[in-house]
Chains A and B, each alone.
Chain A
């Protein structure tokens, strides 16, 4: 990686939106290829944050700051519209009864900067709506993020509802403070992610 991109990654990891954006503009001035900015800048920063989170304390604030800076750079790299989707579509939501969507929003940011197209069904979302979105958007995965325990029985329904729609091949991933206390078997899902990056790694593994 060249020095200009390394500097960009460092600003992103610091969560410094202004510095990251200024550096992204400098990179763009000499290298107009937005894709390179995405792969060598944003994805590298997210990989760095992921590594940091596995070796140090994981905290939402630092990830939010990096995510916010990354989204600002992404808008600079692709001013004409959406960030290129290279890894497929996923549906994400915080299920009905739960309005704590911070973890969901962070996961959406990380997935977006890693090249996934993320269809965000919001918070307090009926599971039937998540399944309908998966069908409509041809998603390969449905992600449920839950902080409180009443969502557990709803998450258990997802796989059956997907099967009823002929979507047995759609992967179901759960995460969040309440859901990560459970096993995948207990939730009837394919995977329980420890955090946003663990979720990304699991999905990346499926798309290789």
Chain B
């Protein structure tokens, strides 16, 4: 089976030759290739080469055409600061109050900011890999883009103080994600990860997620599925257990779970939804490979079918390669034991 087939088998709960394994390798691909991160984040060819080199090294099942969490907000006018070898951050936010979203237009992904870099990276990776491994793009979920446009503190207060304007901001953010996500699918991505860490129950109450965010995520996922029948992958970090039962209604196919979520409890909450996770990200920095192996085996014991072995969140830039390899090897070795 190919990596793509393995992942689709997990999504559809059909038999597979082994558990698919997807370490969430983003900027770490640049770090192990010795490429400065700012080049990786601004040059599609470099990004694709680094992702391919990481794939060659680890032999996992998916690559990521993914830059950082600032692509959309930069395309909409936020000013970024690029450190020498780290992810950029927003120096000046695009808007100062939620109502100002009325002055923004949905960016054209073929022209705006670094959106074309991501599209080109997706195209290059798909061209090279065809359907052998999954090529994933990425869009920000509505809550996270709202925070990236306005600043997290202002956005969160706006959710309470200016609910109508805040909802318009969320609608706009969802529209941006639909347009950008569909462009990524057109460019060659098999799917878009919807990355929405600010929607985590660690940040907002589950009731706010249910009332304000779930309907927008559903609209986004529906639009991505309509485009090409693509699978949808929702990535929300932190203690997501209270909102997991809402994922099926959001049209989610793959649910990321972080290290703090018990796999068995997550499985019980959404028994027919594919899960991915959930090895602690920092473990790839501060643990030994045999500890990663042991953690993987524990997770796989409780996961059952419909599971993708993965890190709970991004593999840190400074992760030890031997620990990432231990994750991949655990999936392969565990499968040979079954």
Who on chain A is nearest to B197 by CB? A177
Which of B86, B160, B204 has the most chain A CB atoms inside 10 A of its CB? B160
Q: What is the CB-to-nearest-CB distance from B296 to chain A, in angstroms, rounded to a whole number? A: 17
Q: How far is the CA of A97 from the CA of B205 in the complex (A)?
A: 29
Q: Would you call A68 and B157 a contact (CB within 8 A)? A: yes
Q: What is the CB-to-nearest-CB distance from A14 to chain B, in angstroms, rounded to a whole number? A: 11
Q: How far is the CA of A125 from the CA of B89 in the complex (A)?
A: 14
Known: A59-B201, A61-B204, A105-B153. A181 touches B280 (CB 8 A): yes
Q: What is the CB-to-nearest-CB distance from B279 to chain A, in angstroms, rounded to a whole number? A: 11
Known: A97-B86, A102-B152. A61 touches B316 (CB 8 A): no
* Interface residues in A57-71 (C-beta closer than 8 Å to B): 57-62, 64-65, 68
Is A99 an interface position by the 8 A CB rule? Answer: yes
Q: How far is the CA of A100 from the CA of B157 in the complex (A)?
A: 16
A15 to chain B: which residues have CB within 8 Å? Answer: 160
Q: What is the CB-to-nearest-CB distance from B84 to chain A, in angstroms, rounded to a whole number? A: 10
Q: How far is the CA of A59 from the CA of B201 in the complex (A)?
A: 6
Is A138 an interface position by the 8 A CB rule? Answer: no
A105 to chain B: which residues have CB within 8 Å? Answer: 153
Q: Residue B203 contacts which of A59, A148, A150 (CB distance < 8 angstroms)?
A: A59
Is B202 an interface position by the 8 A CB rule? Answer: yes
Known: A15-B160, A182-B286. A59 touches B153 (CB 8 A): no
Q: What is the CB-to-nearest-CB distance from B169 to chain A, in angstroms, rounded to a whole number? A: 15
Please, how many residues of chain B have a CB less than 8 angstroms from a CB on the other chain?
Answer: 32
* Interface residues in A8-23 (C-beta closer than 8 Å to B): 15
Q: How far is the CA of A99 from the CA of B206 in the complex (A)?
A: 26
Q: How far is the CA of A65 from the CA of B316 in the complex (A)?
A: 32
B153 to chain A: which residues have CB within 8 Å? Answer: 64, 102, 105
Chain B 294-318, CB-CB to A under 8 Å as 1, else 0, gives 0000000000000000000000111
Who on chain A is nearest to B203 by CB? A60
Q: Would you call A60 and B282 a contact (CB within 8 A)? A: no
Q: Would you call B86 and A181 a contact (CB within 8 A)? A: no
A57 to chain B: which residues have CB within 8 Å? Answer: 201, 205-206, 239, 242
Q: How far is the CA of A15 from the CA of B242 in the complex (A)?
A: 22
Q: What is the CB-to-nearest-CB distance from B77 to chain A, in angstroms, rounded to a whole number? A: 18
A68 to chain B: which residues have CB within 8 Å? Answer: 157
Is A54 an interface position by the 8 A CB rule? Answer: no
Who on chain B is nearest to A147 by CB? B197
Is A35 an interface position by the 8 A CB rule? Answer: no
Who on chain A is nearest to B285 by CB? A149
Q: What is the CB-to-nearest-CB distance from A69 to chain B, in angstroms, rounded to a whole number? A: 11
Q: Would you call A181 and B281 a contact (CB within 8 A)? A: yes
Known: A57-B205, A58-B202, A59-B203. A152 touches B156 (CB 8 A): no
Which of A58, A62, A97, A181 has the most chain B CB atoms inside 10 A of its CB? A181
B90 to chain A: which residues have CB within 8 Å? Answer: 99
Q: Would you call B285 and A61 a contact (CB within 8 A)? A: no
Q: How far is the CA of A9 from the CA of B202 in the complex (A)?
A: 23
Who on chain B is nearest to A100 by CB? B152
Is A178 an interface position by the 8 A CB rule? Answer: yes
B205 to chain A: which residues have CB within 8 Å? Answer: 57, 59, 61-62
Is A82 an interface position by the 8 A CB rule? Answer: no
B283 to chain A: which residues have CB within 8 Å? Answer: 181
Q: Would you call A181 and B282 a contact (CB within 8 A)? A: yes
Known: A149-B318, A152-B282, A178-B282. A59 touches B259 (CB 8 A): no
Is A85 an interface position by the 8 A CB rule? Answer: no
Is A132 an interface position by the 8 A CB rule? Answer: no
Q: Would you call B86 and A150 a contact (CB within 8 A)? A: yes
Is A186 an interface position by the 8 A CB rule? Answer: yes
Chain A 126-166, CB-CB to B under 8 Å as 1, else 0, gives 00000000000000000000001110100000000000000
Known: A62-B205, A150-B86. A181 touches B259 (CB 8 A): yes
Is B176 an interface position by the 8 A CB rule? Answer: no
Q: Residue B202 contacts which of A60, A99, A148, A181 (CB distance < 8 angstroms)?
A: A60
Who on chain B is nearest to A65 by CB? B160
Who on chain A is nearest to B317 by CB? A150
Is B34 an interface position by the 8 A CB rule? Answer: no
* Interface residues in A89-108 (C-beta closer than 8 Å to B): 97, 99-100, 102, 105
* 6 A-B pairs in the complex with CB atoms less than 8 angstroms apart: A57-B206, A61-B203, A149-B282, A150-B318, A177-B238, A182-B286
Interface, chain B (partner A; CB < 8 A): 83, 86-87, 89-90, 152-153, 156-157, 159-160, 201-206, 208, 237-239, 242, 259, 280-283, 285-286, 316-318
In order of increasing CB-CB distance, the 10 nearest A-B pairs are: A181-B282, A149-B316, A99-B89, A60-B203, A61-B156, A61-B204, A102-B152, A59-B205, A57-B201, A186-B286
Further pairs besides A57-B205, A58-B202, A64-B156: 9, Cβ < 8 Å: A57-B239, A64-B157, A102-B153, A149-B316, A149-B317, A152-B285, A177-B237, A181-B280, A182-B282
